[in-house]
Amino acid sequence: MKLPALYALVLALAPGGLANAYDERLDITPLTGEHWLVSFDFNLSSAVSHHHQLFPRVLEGVLASSNASELHLRFGQGYWDADNWGLTPNNGANVAGTGVELWARIAADSYPDAEASWFSLANSLSGMFCASLNFIDSAHTTSPKSVLGAFDTNHSLYLFHGSLPSEPVCTENLTPYLKLLPCKGAAGVSSLLDGHHLFESQWQSMSIDLSVEDGRLHLRQSIYAVLHVDRTLERRINPVPEPEPYEAVKCDSSRDYSNPQNGICYPRIPGIGEINVTLSDLFGSPIKNGACLSKITSKSPQICLHIPSDNWSVTASDELSPAIKSVDQICYVIPPDSDFDLSIHSETRESVLPKTPSPILASRHLVGWGQERGGFHSVYKSTSGDSPVSFVTYEVLPWFMRVYLHSFTYTLFDSAGAEVATGSFSASNVSSDIAQLLYYKPAQPRVSPSHIEMLLTIPAGSKLVTMYQFEKSLLYYNEYPPDANRGFDISPAIVEVLTDSSSPRAVFRTTSSLLSLPTPDFSMPYNVIILTSTVIALAFGTIFNLVTRTFVYAEDLPKQSLAKKLRAKLSKITSMFS
């Protein structure tokens, strides 16, 4: 009897404790009547020294073998509508752009060593997460200078960033992701995560942030998804996406002509009116609990709904009462032993909490026509009414986009839409107070991408439109992917809004772009070689003959019959051998 007590005493006294610190939570935030944001956050800190009971050993091994002190991995798909949904969760610190993105800080003595470790890191992660991260080579790697935490530099640490916007994200990426969690996705909040619902969402982002601090490893995993609630509910009834039968369509009664009895039904705008939904409806199952979760953490997981509690009512399974209930959120502590479900009801689902607007709304898209040249056109709109906003943009363009940075121009529009200022990065003005080139590393064909970082400042309520041109390259035959006519994906630009204080910067990413390049005819290799060689031989042969032969008058040549000529030639040949 005394032994367990003694053991507990030892545990309590041991410095830092042998216990790992783990907590998880789920936040559900209706963004509009039909789009709901679900945020899963998992935080795990390992104990000092190597007593990793919960910490995934494989990650620790990956960190150690590549000498990385920090690792960030992102998987994302979909479109975040910043206009209507505001800022991404947690100021965008854990949010992914399109495709797969990886950045890490690597300790090494020299740049080539650091780069070699970086490539081996990307390769190990590609095996771990079933993603083709092995495609991150030097043509996809950059070292950011002013974003992604680059500013707190320690000179023996090299920051590398690689992005693969064309990578699909699917269940094979979710499976190993869940295996990193202590309960492997079988219990707790993570039991709601299922590939079928997650990859059906409007927008999803899976992130892993790993860092080392004071000898402790910190792992933060976040999954965010924006679910279209109506579609999710419809799928539970009928998995085949079909329009509703006429009888089930709800008519908009605010329009006087819309009366089903008259045979006229104006369908009601979705996202308005009544809603009744449970967690099982949204995710396919309630939160499962079991011994696993209670064994590993004393902090019970929390589930919070961010809704105006006046218009919404929430009931938990087993009539559990909320741990927190305030005017803008209702939180429950999930009991450790049984399954947990929530029933959410509202008569006016469109009443949602006001969203934090993003300080700027940024969009970037390709302009131009034809496959010789194009341009990148970006629009930045400030949403703040009173103070100017400064932000840094980070763009990585593949080497086959030959950028003309001298063609960069910007135009500033005030809140009324009138043009206020224009300018460029011309040679004469080194910097202006609106657009400043922080860093530019031109692309080396097939070796490294173009890396552009700019500092832009917009006054309150204004809109800045920037544009620069580029030329599209032709590639070698084997550099085209198998579906060459689809085009090439360009990674999203990262925008970080600067803040005066030490508060974290708001980070967001624009959409990725699809660039179509000129293609040769892929069926032609032999034909081209043959035709070109023929033409060269024609030229060479003609000139060779002209230069090496002597002129004679035709009539001076002895006239010979064909037979005699042939006999003469034959004797010449035989005399060569005798």
Partner 1 sequence: MRMLLFSWLVFAWVAVAATRSHTNNWAVIVCTSRFWFNYRHVANALSMYRTVKRLGIPDSQILLLLADDIACNPRNAFPGTVYNNADRALDLYGESVEVDYRGYDVTVENFIRLLTDRFDPDTPRSKRLLTDDRSNIFIYMTGHGGNEFLKFQDAEEISAHDIADAFAQMYEKRRYNEIFFMIDTCQANTMYSHFYSPNILAVGSSELDESSYSHHADIDIGVAVIDRFTYYNLEFLENVSRTSNLTLADLFNSYDSEEIASHPGIRTDLYQRDLSDVLITDFFGNVQEVEIDSSKPRGLLSLLNQQIKQAK
Partner 2 sequence: MKWFAIIAALVGIRFLLFLYCKQLLAVLENNVAISTPLTSYQYLLEGLFYYSRNLEIYNGGIYHQSPILLYVMNLLDATGYIDLLSYMLWITLDVVSALALASMDDFRPLTAVIYLANPFTIASLLARSTLIFTSTAILMSLATAKRRRAVLAMTFLAVATHFSLYPAALLPPVMYMSVGSRLSLYSFAKTFFVFVAATSTCMALSYAIAGSWHFLKFYKVSLLFQELKPNIGIWWYFFVEMFDFFMPFFLSVFNLHVFIYSLPLTIRLRHDPLFAAVTVLGLHAMFKPYPSIGDISLYLSLLPLYSRIYTQLKYAWVALLALAYASILTPTFYHLWIVLGSGNANFFYAITLTYVIAMTTIISDTLWAVLRLQFDDGASSKQVIQT
**Number of residues binding to partner 1, judged by CB under 8 A:** 34
Say if residues 146 and 191 touch (Cβ distance below 8 Å).
no
Dist. CA 110–CA 107, nearest whole Å: 9
- Any idea which residue has 């224009």 for tokens? 422
What phi and psi, each to the nearest 5 degrees, are found at residue 98?
A: -75, 135
> Which three-class secondary structure state does DSSP give residue 313?
strand
Dist. CA 197–CA 201, nearest whole Å: 7
Q: Which does 257 bind (CB under 5 to 8 A by kind): partner 1, partner 2, none?
A: none
Q: Which does 440 bind (CB under 5 to 8 A by kind): partner 2, partner 1, none?
A: partner 2
Structure tokens at 135: 């495609």
> Looking at the DSSP assignment, which residues form a beta bridge with residue 396?
451
Nearer to partner 1, 121 or 412 (CB): 121
Angle at 241 between CA 235 and CA 247, to 5 degrees: 85
Say if residues 72 and 207 touch (Cβ distance below 8 Å).
yes
- Which amino acid is residue 470, in one-letter code? F
First to last CA, the chain: 113
Which of 237, 416, 430, 576 is the binder for partner 2 (CB under 8 A)?
A: 430
Say if residues 199 and 235 touch (Cβ distance below 8 Å).
no
Nearest to 182 by CA among 101, 307, 301: 301
Dist. CA 331–CA 314, nearest whole Å: 10
Nearer to partner 1, 180 or 456 (CB): 180
Minimum CB separation of residue 328 from partner 2 in Å reads 50
Q: Which does 521 bind (CB under 5 to 8 A by kind): partner 2, partner 1, none?
A: partner 2
Q: Which does 402 bind (CB under 5 to 8 A by kind): partner 2, partner 1, none?
A: partner 2
Nearer to partner 2, 550 or 561 (CB): 550
Structure tokens at 463: 């809109």
Nearest to 346 by CA among 313, 381, 386, 393: 313
Minimum CB separation of residue 556 from partner 2 in Å reads 9
Minimum CB separation of residue 569 from partner 2 in Å reads 13
- Determine if 542 is a binding residue for partner 2 (CB under 8 A): yes
Which of 404, 419, 433, 560 is the binder for partner 2 (CB under 8 A)?
A: 404
Strand order in 389-397's β-sheet? 435-441, 450-458, 389-397, 494-497, 506-509
Site stretch for partner 2 (CB under 8 A), options 23-31, 165-173, 441-449, 561-569: 441-449
Q: Which does 199 bind (CB under 5 to 8 A by kind): partner 1, partner 2, none?
A: partner 1
Which of 107, 170, 333, 405 is the binder for partner 1 (CB under 8 A)?
A: 170
- Determine if 175 is a binding residue for partner 1 (CB under 8 A): yes
Which of 153, 156, 444, 560 is the binder for partner 2 (CB under 8 A)?
A: 444
Scanning residues 7 to 66, which ones bind partner 1 (CB under 8 A)? none
Nearer to partner 2, 171 or 407 (CB): 407
- Determine if 249 is a binding residue for partner 2 (CB under 8 A): no
- Determine if 427 is a binding residue for partner 2 (CB under 8 A): yes
Q: Tell me the torsion sign for CA atoms 492, 493, 498, 502.
A: positive
Q: Which does 195 bind (CB under 5 to 8 A by kind): partner 2, partner 1, none?
A: partner 1
- Determine if 171 is a binding residue for partner 1 (CB under 8 A): yes
- Any idea which residue has 């090299």 for tokens? 158
Instruction: Give whole-number Cα distances, 557 to 145, 415, 525, 565, 572, in Å.
Output: 80, 93, 46, 12, 18
- Determine if 113 is a binding residue for partner 1 (CB under 8 A): no
Nearer to partner 1, 320 or 484 (CB): 484
Say if residues 157 and 110 touch (Cβ distance below 8 Å).
no
> Looking at the DSSP assignment, which residues form a beta bridge with residue 220?
43, 209
Scanning residues 493 to 532, which ones bind partner 2 (CB under 8 A)? 518-521, 524-525, 528-529, 531-532
Dist. CA 48–CA 215, nearest whole Å: 6
Instruction: Give whole-number Cα distances, 304 to 127, 140, 324, 532, in Å.
Output: 35, 39, 9, 70
Binding mask 353-382 for partner 2 (x = CB under 8 A): ----------------xxxxx---------
Minimum CB separation of residue 399 from partner 2 in Å reads 8
Q: Which does 196 bind (CB under 5 to 8 A by kind): partner 2, partner 1, none?
A: partner 1
Which of 47, 169, 401, 456 is the binder for partner 1 (CB under 8 A)?
A: 169
Minimum CB separation of residue 63 from partner 1 in Å reads 15
- Determine if 120 is a binding residue for partner 1 (CB under 8 A): yes
Nearest to 165 by CA among 426, 384, 449, 419: 449
Q: Which does 291 bind (CB under 5 to 8 A by kind): partner 2, partner 1, none?
A: none
Structure tokens at 180: 């990193």
Nearest to 145 by CA among 160, 135, 133, 167: 160
Minimum CB separation of residue 112 from partner 2 in Å reads 16
Binding site for partner 2 (CB under 8 A): 369-373, 402, 404-406, 425-428, 430, 437, 440-445, 447-448, 471, 473-478, 518-521, 524-525, 528-529, 531-532, 535-536, 538-540, 542-543, 545-547, 549-555, 557
Binding site for partner 1 (CB under 8 A): 77, 119-120, 123-124, 126-128, 130-132, 134-135, 167-172, 175-176, 194-200, 239-241, 481-483
